[in-house]
């Protein structure tokens, strides 16, 4: 017998359909409906609400073989053939994470095809793979942030069995796996949850209606979210989650859902006997996220730091538009590298208000912040999906890489950046509903037209070629300048891993010198000096020692190191 349970406090009647046979369910006072039914192991099933004849998928569906609008399928995680029993897990602190979108990482865009590239990631020196969302969403391809059935795995990627094979293969190679989880909104296609219960709130965010985590009857919705998060780590052996846009979670309760999730993740970690990590994406610059709970924080493992990205990108590229307006100087870059946040109870011209709060660098290690030269957001949310490699010299890319990978922060790469991939990463979708498809395309064009772009230049997200253009071209990795930059990244990651001074997590131990006029900056970390010439003209920099890694041809004398334009040298000074 199989137990079927569904939380559905809204309808007056809920029935279960298993392979075309309808069964009555018993309702409990707490809004749960349940029944024990003799069902075959892979039965297709769904729920009938009141008198509507439409069979709806299970809100906690373990599998959606025919898409988010169709019946769910039974799937038992205990049937999986895991071989990672001796995987001890690892902390993300100070590691190198590799963010990838499964559908464009390889030509086939599946878990199995991605497995074929894992040895490449090991050779590069990667510690963790971070998957952009792999939960079920409408259509065949998309970014995954419009998921509607959070408990199931997108079937075109390989479904739950494919994810298990991928995680198992990663662990066999010593790679940890992080999964991007979206709990702040639901996608516009296939969202049947509001018909079952009060999943949505009175609040809203840029992507639609908010999730009910603090209004009436929100306790079960919170359990729905936390249960999904724990499922990724328990049933699929993920080593942690990246939590999308947590600033969009409106929680007015005394115990924030992030604190609750962190507490339960720590409990699960103890049960499993391996480290589990929670990484927040937040634009609030709020240290409470990564402050331990015994000191009044939420106790998350780490968070993305867009300020570090903005400070590095603007100083190197010269871009100043939009939210880059407060960044760009070397003084800003030096301050941000030393303090983790630039906006820390300071005025933000983009927001027209004070923003952020200072990070206590004496008690919070730098490894609790993620630094990166680019992410899926910083590439894909540009009008054309252009990468830094489309606009910068190879030397400028090397400078950005050195500032991230030789810093004290936990580092993250976005797929393909390590060889200056020529392919863009554009915004793409495959909504099956014509009206939604048209609205998505028109909305994208209108958004960028407001910022001065010709609407006709903006790629149509629904055009299959937009998706195809975004797939990595792996033939580039070992060709010409691509191969040279790849070697620089690999050597830089190896240096980071092997040198104790570069593993020091305390920002107070790092010294940053710079010259605004001559456009150079030096990070001093123990016996190492990371010297970067951001300008196009040669400069002499007050650092000397043995050159252990460089981009360009540095000249070292007793007092100075001469660097050509757009170049970097890492020196052993002691």
Residue 279 DSSP class: E
Contact 531/546 with Cβ under 8 angstroms?
Answer: no
Residues linked to residue 102 through DSSP beta bridges, in sequence order: none
Alpha helices in 237-350 (DSSP H): 257-272, 306-317, 330-339
477 token code pair: 């990795």
Residue extents of the structural domains in the chain = 2-56, 95-277, 510-572
Closest CA to 224 of 198, 255, 189: 198
> In this predicted structure, what is the pLDDT of residue 208?
80
Q: Can you identify the CATH homologous superfamily of domain 2-56?
A: Immunoglobulins (2.60.40.10)
Contact 440/446 with Cβ under 8 angstroms?
Answer: no
Provide the CA 242 distance to its chain's centre, in angstroms: 5
Contact 210/199 with Cβ under 8 angstroms?
Answer: no
444 token code pair: 């994208």
Q: Given the structure tokens 């912040």, which residue do they identify? A: 369
199 token code pair: 């999943």
CA–CA dist 62, 58 (Å, integer): 8
Q: H or E segment at 278?
A: strand 277-280
Residues linked to residue 410 through DSSP beta bridges, in sequence order: 370
pLDDT in tens, 21-68: 999 999 999 999 999 999 999 999 999 999 999 999 999 999 999 999
281 noted as active-site residue: yes
Q: Write out the DSSP string of 128-163.
A: EEEEPP-EE-SSS-S-STT-SEEEEE-GGGTHHHHH
Query: Could you give phi then psi for residue 368, rounded to 5 degrees?
Result: -85, -5
How many beta carbons lie within 10 A of that of residue 277, not counting itself? 26
How many beta carbons lie within 10 A of that of residue 342, not counting itself? 23
Same fold, 95-277 and 510-572: no
> In this predicted structure, what is the pLDDT of residue 263?
98
> In this predicted structure, what is the pLDDT of residue 493?
98
Contact 393/431 with Cβ under 8 angstroms?
Answer: no
> In this predicted structure, what is the pLDDT of residue 461?
95
> In this predicted structure, what is the pLDDT of residue 446?
86
C-alpha distances (whole Å) from 54 to each of 17, 188, 192 are: 10, 18, 11
417 token code pair: 């950046």
Sign of the Cα torsion 184, 185, 190, 193 reads positive
Provide the CA 574 distance to its chain's centre, in angstroms: 37
Query: Could you give phi then psi for residue 182, rounded to 5 degrees?
Result: -115, 110
Q: Given the structure tokens 């994810």, which residue do they identify? A: 163
SS3 6: strand
Report how far apart the first and last C-alpha atoms of the chain are (Å, whole number): 70
290 token code pair: 């990564």
The active-site residue, picked from 127, 235, 259, 281, is 281
Query: What percentage of the chain exceeds 90 in pLDDT?
Result: 95
Contact 410/395 with Cβ under 8 angstroms?
Answer: no
74 token code pair: 């039974």
Q: H or E segment at 528?
A: strand 528-533
pLDDT tens series, the chain, 574 aa: 899 999 999 999 999 999 999 999 999 999 999 999 999 999 999 999 999 999 999 999 999 999 999 999 999 999 999 999 999 999 999 999 999 999 999 999 999 999 999 999 999 999 999 999 999 999 999 999 999 999 999 999 999 999 999 999 999 999 999 999 999 999 999 999 999 999 999 887 888 889 999 999 999 999 999 999 999 999 999 999 999 999 999 999 999 999 999 999 999 999 999 999 999 999 999 999 999 999 999 999 999 999 999 999 999 999 999 899 999 999 999 999 999 999 999 999 999 999 999 999 999 999 999 999 999 999 999 999 999 999 999 999 999 999 999 999 999 999 999 999 999 999 999 999 999 999 998 889 888 887 778 888 999 999 999 999 999 999 999 999 999 999 999 999 999 999 999 999 999 999 999 999 999 999 999 999 999 999 999 999 999 999 999 999 999 999 999 999 999 999 999 7
Report the CATH number of the 95-277 domain. 3.20.20.80
Contact 548/571 with Cβ under 8 angstroms?
Answer: yes
Residue 54 DSSP class: P
Q: Is 325 exposed, middle or buried (0-12, 13-18, 19+ CB in 10 A)?
A: middle
CA–CA dist 502, 487 (Å, integer): 19
> In this predicted structure, what is the pLDDT of residue 202?
82
Q: Which residues are annotated as a binding site for substrate?
A: 242-247, 306-310, 376-381
> In this predicted structure, what is the pLDDT of residue 574?
74
Beta strands in 287-390 (DSSP E): 302-304, 346-348, 353-355, 369-372
How many beta carbons lie within 10 A of that of residue 108, not counting itself? 15
CA dihedral 315, 320, 324, 325 (to 10 degrees): 110
Q: H or E segment at 231?
A: helix 219-234
> In this predicted structure, what is the pLDDT of residue 209?
85
Name the CATH code of domain 510-572 (choices 2.40.10.500, 2.40.110.10, 2.60.40.1180, 3.40.50.2300): 2.60.40.1180
322 token code pair: 């939009």
The active-site residue, picked from 130, 180, 244, 418, is 244
């Amino acid at each position: 017998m199989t137990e079927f349970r569904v939380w559905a406090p809204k309808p007056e009647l809920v029935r279960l359909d298993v392979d075309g046979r309808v069964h009555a369910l018993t309702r409990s006072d707490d809004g749960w409906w349940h029944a024990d039914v003799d069902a075959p192991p892979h039965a297709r099933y769904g729920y009938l609400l009141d008198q509507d004849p439409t069979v709806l998928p299970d809100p906690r569906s373990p599998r959606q073989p025919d898409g988010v609008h169709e019946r769910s399928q039974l799937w038992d995680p205990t049937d999986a053939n895991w071989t990672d029993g001796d995987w001890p897990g690892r902390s993300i602190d100070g590691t190198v994470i590799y963010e990838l979108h499964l559908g464009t990482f390889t030509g086939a865009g599946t878990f199995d095809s991605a497995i074929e590239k894992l040895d490449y990631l090991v050779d590069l020196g990667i510690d963790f793979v971070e998957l952009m969302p792999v939960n079920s969403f409408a259509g065949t391809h998309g970014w995954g942030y419009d998921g509607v059935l959070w408990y199931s795995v997108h079937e075109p990627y390989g479904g739950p069995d494919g994810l298990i094979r991928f995680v198992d293969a990663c662990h066999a190679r010593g790679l940890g796996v992080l999964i991007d989880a979206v709990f702040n909104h639901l996608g516009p296609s296939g969202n049947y949850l509001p018909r079952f219960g009060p999943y949505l709130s009175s609040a809203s965010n840029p992507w639609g209606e908010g999730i009910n985590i603090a209004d009436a009857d929100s306790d079960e919705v919170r359990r729905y979210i936390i249960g999904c998060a724990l499922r990724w780590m328990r049933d699929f052996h993920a080593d942690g989650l990246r939590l999308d846009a947590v600033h969009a979670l409106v929680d007015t309760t005394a115990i924030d859902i992030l604190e609750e999730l962190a507490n339960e993740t720590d409990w699960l970690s103890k049960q499993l006997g391996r480290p589990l990590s929670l990484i927040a994406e937040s634009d609030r610059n709020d240290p409470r996220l990564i402050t331990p709970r015994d000191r009044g924080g939420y106790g998350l493992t780490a968070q993305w730091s867009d300020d570090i990205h903005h400070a590095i990108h603007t100083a190197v590229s010269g871009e100043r538009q939009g939210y880059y307006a407060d960044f760009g100087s070397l003084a800003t870059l030096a301050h941000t590298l030393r303090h983790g946040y630039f906006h820390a109870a300071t005025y933000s011209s983009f927001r027209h208000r004070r923003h952020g709060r200072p990070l206590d660098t004496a008690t919070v290690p730098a490894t609790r912040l993620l630094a990166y030269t680019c992410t899926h957001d910083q590439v894909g949310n540009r009008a054309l999906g252009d990468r830094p490699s489309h606009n910068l010299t190879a030397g400028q890319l090397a400078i950005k890489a050195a500032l991230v990978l030789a810093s004290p922060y936990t580092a993250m790469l976005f797929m393909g950046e390590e060889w200056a991939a020529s392919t863009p990463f554009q915004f793409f979708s495959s909504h099956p509903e014509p009206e939604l498809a048209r609205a998505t395309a028109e909305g994208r064009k209108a958004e960028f037209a407001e910022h001065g772009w010709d609407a006709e230049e903006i790629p149509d997200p629904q055009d299959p070629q937009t998706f195809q253009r975004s797939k990595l071209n792996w033939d580039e990795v070992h060709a010409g300048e691509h191969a040279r930059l790849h070697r620089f990244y690999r050597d830089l990651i190896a240096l980071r891993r092997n040198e104790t001074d570069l593993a020091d997590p305390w920002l107070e131990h790092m010294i940053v010198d710079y010259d605004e006029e001559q456009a150079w900056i030096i990070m001093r970390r123990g016996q190492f000096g990371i010297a970067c010439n951001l300008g196009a003209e040669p400069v002499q920099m007050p650092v000397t020692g043995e050159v252990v890694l460089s981009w360009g041809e540095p000249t070292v004398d007793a007092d100075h190191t001469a660097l050509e334009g757009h170049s970097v040298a890492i020196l052993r000074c002691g």
